[in-house]
Amino acid sequence: MPAGGTVMLAHPHGFCAGVERAIGVVERALEASRGPVYVRRQIVHNAHVVADLEARGAVFVQEVAEVPERSTLVLAAHGVAPRVREDAARRGLAVVDATCPLVAKVHSEVRRYAGRGDTVFLIGHADHEEVVGTRGEAPERVVVVEDAAHAERVQPADPDRVAYVMQTTLAVEEAEQVAAVLRRRFPALSAPRSDDICYATTNRQRAVREIAAASDLVLVVGSANSSNSLRLVEVAEREGTPAHLVEDASAVDLRWLAGAARIGITAGASAPPSLVDDLVAALGGLGPLTVHSTGSAVEDVRFALPKEI
Ligand code: SF4
């Protein structure tokens, strides 16, 4: 980075309301429980968040079968298939559900469409945990559609009884292209009443597009399994700006900074704000730095904790 560099800090970045709620759920469960608190899968897709909660006593497991009977189990923010809740009930577990309310909304759309006999196209990445959980609401009726080419060839049982929903963390423009193909092919297609891609995903993509246009390099703080963080890298690259996903400041390759006078910084919805502060401080350690905050979106969404805690 040349001397006198500039950091363009995207606003908003980092934690969304669903992630704050999910972390709060585990913290409250740790305070309230006399025994260990188990969490199925990563509570949110961020290695630092998981390591921090682990250090405070949370026990992360892959499956319900690993949890001792009658223990406390927290379900992660990405949501689960009904089968997982049934397994937990069979083991007598005290379940605290940290599913983001905006993911739960998509689940309820699937139940409504599938319940009236529609084939439900779920636009998303088939192997992502959120999609696995959403699909599990009606596996016999949900067809995951990954991209526009897939949308061109997908064949429902009855083309007049079709609907679509989306994964909450997709790239807005690409997802809209897939939906447009489905709308053209199936005029009877039902759509969600409000967007499934959530406010946090939309705002962070808009903000990163803005900083990418004004930067020589974009750094996105987030974990490699964080869907919304990966989309931020793609959105920046689509603006023609090189972009890298970094777990934290230590993951920055100094060669990326060569010749980059203006560095855009953002963070995925599951990345703690302190990691962004650390990254800015680390860049400041390389030479004089001016930091500009950009973007004007106001995020005042807050979700109440579940009544079980
Ligand atoms: S990214 Fe959106 S859907 Fe996912 S937890 Fe955050 S607010 Fe909820």
| Helical spans, DSSP H, in 2-128 | 17-32, 47-55, 82-90, 101-115
Per the residue annotation, which of 20, 63, 129, 130 is the catalytic one?
A: 130
Query: Nearest 5°: phi and psi at 95?
Result: -95, 130
Sign of CA dihedral 149, 152, 153, 158: positive
Closest C-alpha to ligand 1, atom 2: 198
Distance CA 297, CA 29 (A): 32
Total-model pTM: 0.96
pLDDT (tens digit, 9 = 90+) per residue, 1-19?
666 799 999 999 999 999 9
Task: Judge if the beta carbon of residue 18 lies within 6 A of ligand 1.
Answer: yes
Mean per-residue pLDDT for 37-54?
98
Task: Judge if the beta carbon of residue 103 lies within 6 A of ligand 1.
Answer: yes
Atom of ligand 1 nearest to the CA of 22: 5
**Could you tell which of 13, 15, 19, 227 is best to mutate to test the pocket of ligand 1, judged by most ligand atoms within 8 Å of the CB?**
19
16: exposed, middle or buried (Cβ count in 10 Å: 0-12, 13-18, 19+): buried
pLDDT (tens digit, 9 = 90+) per residue, 89-144?
999 999 999 999 999 999 999 999 999 999 999 999 999 999 999 999 999 999 99
> Is 27 one of the catalytic residues?
no
Atom of ligand 1 nearest to the CA of 168: 3
How large a percentage of the chain has pLDDT more than 90?
95
